[in-house]
Structure 1
Amino acid sequence: MAKHNIVLTKQGKTANGTIQLTGSKSECNRALIIEALSDGKVKVENMSDAADAVLLRDILKSEIREQRLEISQTNSLISDHQSQISTIDIGPAGTAMRFLTAFLPLLNKNIVLTGSERMQQRPIGILVDAMRKLGATIDYEKKDGYPPINIHPGFEQQTNVIEIKGNISSQYITALLLIAAKLPQGLELHIQGELTSKPYVEMTLAMLNQAGIRHTWADNVIAIQHQDFAETTLLVEPDWSAASYWYAIAALSDEAELFLPGLTSYSLQGDSVITEIMANFGITSVFKDGGVYLTKEAKPIVRKIFDMKECPDLAQTVIVVCAALGHEATFTGLETLKIKETDRVLALQTELAKIGVKLIEKGQVYKLDCSERNLPQRMFISTYDDHRMAMAFAPLAILIPELEVEDAEVVCKSYPAFWSDLEKVGFRSEKVA
């Protein structure tokens, strides 16, 4: 897909309208793995339009080809047929890389799993070590600890006890939990230290429960026995991460009345905490008529400290809103941002400097210094191949007359309709070379 920039403009500082969001990428990716493991018992509805989710769906369809995963007499998981070595390129899809690292060894195939240049810089070693201990044979094609990886056939479970650090990426834990019920001995996962992004692990377990998979969670140990999936349909809720950008738009507007259908107050998604965070910026959330209404009222911002540990995908959104409003807040829980699509901390520091704002790092604490804040008439935003950089900074067009955003198509990773949805509430976007 050819890359192009866009220039965003916005007449007036109001935002009114109804926005139908795509299905949650986080829920959808989990649901697709569950569906693939369920031998046809689980179906997925309200599939996400996100490029990452579409890619994972297509890979799973191609690799399993409706084959039934069974337990062999030698205590290994097998598919009906082995195939010659094949290569799967997941591009920049980090979730797919992690989920497939755990899933593909169960297929008894020889597969090289690779990705984009940035993906090959993102660590996978902790998960590979866990899969090796379980019984998978996985080699590194280039640098130890990083993709691409070569997954060999012949998985035979060696143990059901795995220890894994909790403060690196919850997706490692989720990847293991998703396959646990299919393992002949089940899985007992011991989480070492504090668990980062706990709501994402809770989402995984809740979705498995919907599919008939039971678990226990005592202290730092999550246990899932070998068991069969139940027949069910997993309905994917609209994406709260995508909703966060509409909360940002409301926060930067003088007036806002927005309706986001399909979102609920009892969501599995940890990013639904955006309702509580944005209440500090005068945004009221009312759940009725099968969705959530957002309204804006002027009020002073009092909260000074935001812990993003359990919702790191909201960090860019909230930090940019604070910077744009000149609110000098302190942020914690940003440790995982450095191993995302880009080093999001460095990217934020670089782009915020363009409006005179500093994001100062002191250990694991980050403080905004807005003393030299200055909103220019025109601004160029680099996106670093990161969809969330593009969408987190886009609302600045409410305050900056011309906002040029690099590589507009980067949003397709999670929210393909983002730019067209913006036009529904008065933004204008024009392609530039």
Structure 2
Amino acid sequence: MSQYKVKKLDHPIHCTVEVPGSKSITNRALLMAALSQGECTLKGVLFSDDSRHFLLSLIALGYIIEVNEVERYVIIHGHGRDIPKKRATINVGSAGTAARFLTAMLALSDGEYTIEASEQMKKRPMLPLFEALQSMGAEFEFLEKDGHLPVNVKGAAYGGKKPQNNVSISISESTQFLSALMMTSPMLEEGIHVHITSNKTEGSYVRITAKMMEQFGCVVDHEGAEYVVPAGSGYYPQTYYIEPDVSAACYFYAAAALTGGTAIVKGVHSNSMQGDLKFIDVLKQMGCAVTEEREGICVSGPKDGEYCGVDVDMNDFSDQSMTLAAIAPFAKTTTVIKNIEHIRLQESDRIEAMVNELNNLGVDVKEGRDRIEISPANVKPGVVDTYNDHRMAMSFALIGLRVDGIIIDNYECCCKTFENYFEVLEKACAQ
């Protein structure tokens, strides 16, 4: 595994950057396009490990797809409820969205399939989704560990069967389970009624799903713990524009706070549907100024990077927990990040990863089941273990902008969602 030494900045960052398309929106759009009634053109597509696994899976299922990575577009010929190939093997890699969304798609079909995955994805939770799909008529043969990938799937409509369309599910471990059921509901003639059994009944990514389904012509009725997609729903073929990735943009906004500089991310505006936009409100609380420019949102950090710590519930935008953790040691007061227990079950145990790596850099961190408390510190140089987690690599690299001698181990894991992150960061620092 290779290492990347972050170059310490001796001046505030002042940058205007362009980030890739949103992973969350890209992979949702790929699924909806495949289930549409004709040709869809997706523009601004993210090309990364996760989205390529999704694309290759669709191709393995028989979909005709034209890909142009230079111009960042994809053309997909949708087949409505009908998956072109009735038998196939797909590999979702480490992509949680591909794993959950395509499992639901295949489980509601009339075919037989095998779903393979990376060692990392094999460990991530899937059982609530499997149980919900089994209750709808799907059959699963677990090939290694019960409730986990890899798995053989026999669709709920196999042999002319009629899938059940009333289903209950817990989304305490991942809202992707609900998004998977919602997005694949047009495969069911009678629609779907989903009852949520967990205390958590919604979230920012579920709202993205519902908004995109509406944009593709499919209405979702939601009240409390109930989600209903009416009978006869379907997706319209169209040209669809994918927003820039706000999760990626937040690293540059954080860099502005950290160095007392400014960052504009092209195409990121306050009307974005992405929940990670809430991180900008956190930066405001810390003392940053935020304005909306023609090119995109601009974040200006406090002079000399002198900002306050915060106490914040990050359940609904938890991907930014690590970004906040990276800049928290440089704050004037303690930072508390809470209600994030579910991130222990993602690409890594992200709470444990943050605590370990901050401790290794001389930062005092108190760990709870669903929270961390980070004290101001004189951060020392060191090697950061990324745990093969793209967000650990990208967020903890920010520390190196303030501290000389920060080395990111296995930095290439950022390819999961932002292949040229370190190149873009270098150019941003040189502007």
Report the TM-score when normalising by structure 2. 0.90
Deviation at 1:427, TM superposition (A): 6.3
Amino acid at match of 1:109: G
Letter in 2 for 1:175: A
Q: Give the corresponding residue for 2:219.
A: 214
Q: Structure 1 residues 34, 362: closer, same or farther in 2, change over 3 A? A: same
Answer whether contact 1:284 1:294 (CA < 8 A) is retained: yes
> Kindly tell me: are residues 385 and 362 of structure 1, through their superposed partners in 2, closer, same or farther at Cα, counting changes over 3 Å?
closer
Worse-matched range after superposition: 334-343 or 43-52: 43-52
* 1:129-157 CA distance string (max 9 Å, x none): 11111121122111111111111256234
Q: Verify: 1:164 aligned to 2:207, yes or no.
A: no
The unaligned stretches of length 5 or more in structure 2 are: 65-76
Cα RMSD (Å): 2.1
CA pair 427-290 structure 1, distance change in 2 beyond 3 A: closer
Q: Contact 1:197–1:309 (CA<8 Å) still a contact in 2?
A: no
Does 1 or 2 have the higher relative contact order (CA < 8 Å, sep 6+)? 1
Alignment-derived partner of residue 404 in structure 1: 407
Structure-2 residue corresponding to 1:295: 300
Structure 1 unmatched ranges of 5 or more = 71-76, 429-433
Bigger shift: residues 194-203 or 24-33: 194-203
Q: CA deviation at 1:325?
A: 2.9
Query: Out of 96, 99, 121, which is 2:98 matched to?
Result: 96
Aligned pair 1:109/2:115, yes or no? no
Separation (CA, whole Å) in 1 of partners of 2:249 and 2:43: 19
Partner of 2:63: 65
Shift of 1:290: 3.4
1:198 corresponds to: 203
Aligned equivalents of 1:392, 1:197: Cα separation in 2? 26
Q: Counterpart in 1 of 2:239?
A: 233
Shift of 1:40: 2.1
The separation in 1 between residues aligned to 2:46 and 2:373, in whole angstroms, is 35
Structure 1 residues 163 and 206, CA gap change in structure 2 (3 angstroms) = same
Contact residue 284 and residue 296 of structure 1 kept, 8 A: yes
- For residues 270-316 of structure 1, what are the alpha-carbon distances to aligned partners after superposition, in whole Å with 9 as ceiling and x for unaligned? 00112111112332222221312222223864563110110111111
Matched, 1:367 2:365: no
What residue in structure 1 maps to residue 398 of structure 2?
A: 395
Query: Structure 2 CA distance, aligned partners of 1:426 and 1:387?
Result: 20
Give the counterpart letter for 1:395 in structure 2: L
**In structure 2, do the counterparts of structure 1 residues 107 and 68 end up closer, same or farther at CA, with 3 Å as the change threshold?**
farther
**Match of 1:249, SS?**
helix
Which residue pairs with 1:119 in the alignment? 121
CA spacing shift, 1:196–1:356, aligned 2, 3 Å: farther
Deviations 1:195-214 (A, max 9, x none): 27611101000000000001
Aligned residues: 414
Assess, with a 3 A threshold, how the Cα gap between structure 1 residues 68 and 349 changes in structure 2: closer, same or farther: closer
Q: Kindly state the Cα deviation for residue 326 of structure 1 after the two structures are TM-superposed.
A: 5.5
Is contact 2:383-2:407 (8 Å) kept? Answer: yes
- Tell me if the contact between 2:355 and 2:367 (Cα under 8 Å) persists in the aligned partners: no
Query: Is the CA contact (8 Å cut-off) linking 1:251 and 1:283 kept in structure 2?
Result: yes
Deviation readout 1:174-203 (Å, 9 max, x if unpaired): 011100122122111111233276111010
1:319 shift after superposition: 1.7
Question: 1:68 Cα deviation (Å)?
Answer: 6.2
Q: State how far apart, in whole Å, the 2-side matches of 1:97 and 1:357 are.
A: 36
TM-superposed deviation, 1:363: 4.2
Runs (4+) off by over 6 Å: none
Percent identity between matched residues is 27
Deviates more, 1:378-387 or 1:99-108: 99-108
With the length of structure 1 as denominator, give the TM-score of the two structures.
Answer: 0.90
Amino acid at match of 2:148: Y
Deviations for 1:372-410, whole angstroms, at most 9, x for unmatched residues?
x3322x310110010000011011112211211111211
TM-fit CA distance, 1:248: 1.5
Residue matched to 1:306: 312
Which sits farther off after the overlay, 323-332 or 396-405? Answer: 323-332
What secondary structure does 1:424 align onto? Answer: helix
Query: What is the alpha-carbon distance in structure 2 between the residues aligned to residue 163 and residue 123 of structure 1?
Result: 17
The offset of 1:7, in angstroms, is: 1.1
**Partner deviation per Cα, 1:49-91 (whole Å, 9 max, x = no partner):** 2321122122213313248646xxxxxx6545533xx432222
- CA gap of 1:158–1:286, structure 2 versus 1, over 3 A, is same
Query: In the aligned structure 1, how far is the partner of 2:382 from the partner of 2:201?
Result: 34
Letter in 2 for 1:387: H
Which residue of structure 2 aligns with residue 355 of structure 1?
A: 361
Cα shift at 1:245 = 0.5
